[in-house]
Amino acid sequence: MFNNEIFKQAIKSVDFLQFRPVDESKPLQISYYRCLVDTEKVNQYLLPGIQENIDSLRRLSDIKGLIPFEDVTVIADTAEVVGKLTKGYVIIQFEGDDLHYLLVDVNHASMGHRKSNETENEFSVIGPKVGFVENIEVNIHLLRQQINTPALILEQITVGSLSNTKVLIAYIDGVTNSRHIETMRQRLQAINFDVVFDSSQLTQIITDHTNTPFPLLVTTERVDRVIFSILSGQVAVLSEGSPYAVTAPSTLLDFFISAEDYYLPWILASFFRVIRIVGVLFSIIASPLYVSVLTYHFEVIPESLLQPLIYSRIHVPFPPVIEVIFLEVTIELLREAGARLPSKIGQTLGIVGGIVIGQASVQAAFTSNILLIIVALSALASFTTPIFNMANTIRLLRFPFILLAALWGGLGIAVGCMLLLGHLLRLKSLGTPYLAPLFPFRKGHFADSLVRLSYRHTSNRKGFLKPLSKKRYTPDKENLEHD
């Protein structure tokens, strides 16, 4: 008789198959989940190999040489058998040997995964468009394609008591600081969660500070960004079923770096990076400044602007703070609606809705046309952030600054800036200060931070990551004419 006690739960499922490959008189039984295995491989390679040699089989190990599969093992651990069954393995039992099971990996890894791997949320005009997909084996292949060295180490950790999700830690041996590797390993191993759906869940669980709106780990779908982070001495985390990778330790300035910065001349790249940082500051401060000036500080308005400003608000019955909150909430509603709808409908809604609601609000005297321009520019400036998680944080930060400006004017904005700076100074990412190299101040580490200098000056890895190998490459000497 066969030991079917370990399959007592699986038998209840309609997609679970258990049968004898030939007839009832033969001493073999096969069990697997139909939805998890590649049935074509089972029917063409596994079953014929067993059926043609069924009479010569005396034990489970005899089957190994009959089937053309790489991962074929005989084990006795029933707990491991159940785990492998849910991972797409075929379980073969031999009648009379209740203590051993033959496991054959016939997992249909490509089923249900998308074929296209172009980046969707981190688009760039130049440079590679390759992004990660939900298949972790494909993601490993994409990393190995670019980093052609055995020094690229991949460690596997299983996370999730119900999902048993495969999570990989990727780093360069001899480059990445062992403290970062060990910290990431300990945090992943300490996770006590039932199901892990995506890498974004892991970032919330393993982050240094949970009570902050700022993302402390970079979540990206771009392969080139992850490769650059690994080569710089950071640790990357890949999760099964997720098209995003997590890199750490990360700093605040990492969220304003675009992949295009390294494919453009350094002067253009530095200019665009500064534009992004200035745009973010404008996005946070512009609306609160409008509230502050119109509520408390009329004296700072030049005479040439005073008359147009009075005409624009002469029929608006609300105080500036209500006017600003109304428009900001309207913009957020348009953003959320556009993000949740199909792409073509969402784009149409954003454009038409913004024009119609903005024009109607001005004509109905709900808001002034000057504020409409300010809020629209603030929304545009927030879109310049390359990382989506940081863009969400910027959207949130405007509202407390608006309330502080309504309470205390310019003093309220100053108080908000001090509180924000104090909060940022406390944050750490995998034990590394979040504001590095600004704090602690590192004089020689600004070649690739606020700006990106020429490749002649970016040969060193970032010192605050404490890499074991400081040099990324040796810059060439000045090109000389030899004609």
* Predicted confidence (pLDDT) per residue in 221-279, tens digit: 999 999 999 999 999 999 998 999 999 999 999 999 998 899 999 999 999 999 999 99
Q: Hey, what are 270's tokens? A: 């530095």
Amino acid at 31: S
Same domain, 87 and 163: no
Helices (H), 409-447: 410-426
Residue 482 has pLDDT above 70, yes or no: no
Tell me how far the alpha carbon of residue 167 is from its chain's centroid.
14
Residue 480 has pLDDT above 60, yes or no: no
Q: What is the pLDDT of residues 386-426, one digit of tens each?
A: 898 999 999 999 999 999 999 999 999 999 999 999 999 99
Out of 52, 83, 105, pick the residue that ends a domain: 105
Residue 126 has pLDDT above 90, yes or no: no
Q: Minimum mean pLDDT among 92-101, 114-123, 151-160, 356-365: which range?
A: 114-123
pTM above 0.75, yes or no: yes
Out of 55, 82, 105, pick the residue that ends a domain: 105
Out of 59, 89, 105, pick the residue that ends a domain: 105
Q: What is the pLDDT of residues 3-54, one digit of tens each?
A: 788 888 888 888 899 988 877 777 888 999 988 898 888 888 888 888 888 8
CA dist 134 and 218 (Å) reads 18
Residue 451 has pLDDT above 80, yes or no: yes
Neighbours of 354 (CB within 10 A): 17
What is the domain extent for residue 10?
A: 5-105
Residue 317 has pLDDT above 70, yes or no: yes
Same domain, 299 and 425: yes
Q: Does residue 268 lie in a domain region? A: no
In sequence order, the 6+-apart residues with CB closer than 8 A to the CB of 5 are none
Q: Which of 157, 165, 237 is nearest to 195 (CA)?
A: 165
Torsion of CA 388, 394, 399, 402, to 10 degrees: -150
- As for how many domains the chain has, the answer is 3
Same domain, 303 and 390: yes
Long-range contacts of 438-441 (CB under 8 A, 24+ apart): 438/252, 438/253, 440/464
In this prediction, residues 316-325 reach a mean pLDDT of 92
Is residue 323 within 8 A of residue 362, CB to CB? The reply is no
CA dist 245 and 199 (Å) reads 7
Q: Quickly state the pLDDT bin for 476 (edges 50, 70, 90).
A: low
Q: Does residue 333 lie in a domain region? A: no
Phi, psi (degrees; rounded to nearest 5) at 414: -65, -40
Percent of the chain whose predicted confidence (pLDDT) is above 90 = 44
Task: Provide the mean pLDDT of the chain.
Answer: 88
Percent of the chain whose predicted confidence (pLDDT) is above 70 = 95
Same domain, 233 and 281: no
Q: Which of 122, 152, 148, 154 is nearest to 223 (CA)?
A: 122
Same domain, 157 and 207: yes
> What number of CA atoms fall less than 13 Å from residue 293's CA on the CB side?
16
Q: Does residue 458 lie in a domain region? A: no
> What number of CA atoms fall less than 13 Å from residue 96's CA on the CB side?
5
Q: Does residue 235 lie in a domain region? A: yes
Q: Which of 167, 28, 5, 161 is nearest to 93 (CA)?
A: 28
Is residue 216 within 8 A of residue 208, CB to CB? The reply is yes
Amino acid at 322: I
pLDDT at 481: 52
pLDDT at 237: 96
CA dist 466 and 180 (Å) reads 9
Phi, psi (degrees; rounded to nearest 5) at 320: -55, -35
Same domain, 282 and 412: yes
Same domain, 307 and 243: no
Q: Does residue 28 lie in a domain region? A: yes
Same domain, 51 and 158: no
Q: Does residue 257 lie in a domain region? A: no
Q: Does residue 280 lie in a domain region? A: yes
Same domain, 280 and 245: no
Q: Does residue 101 lie in a domain region? A: yes
Same domain, 302 and 393: yes
In this prediction, residues 79-90 reach a mean pLDDT of 88
Helix 320-340 to helix 266-295 angle, to the nearest 10 degrees? 140
3 state SS for 234-276: CEEEEECCCCCEEEECCCHHHHHCCHHHHCCCHHHHHHHHHHH
Same domain, 203 and 239: yes
Same domain, 188 and 238: yes
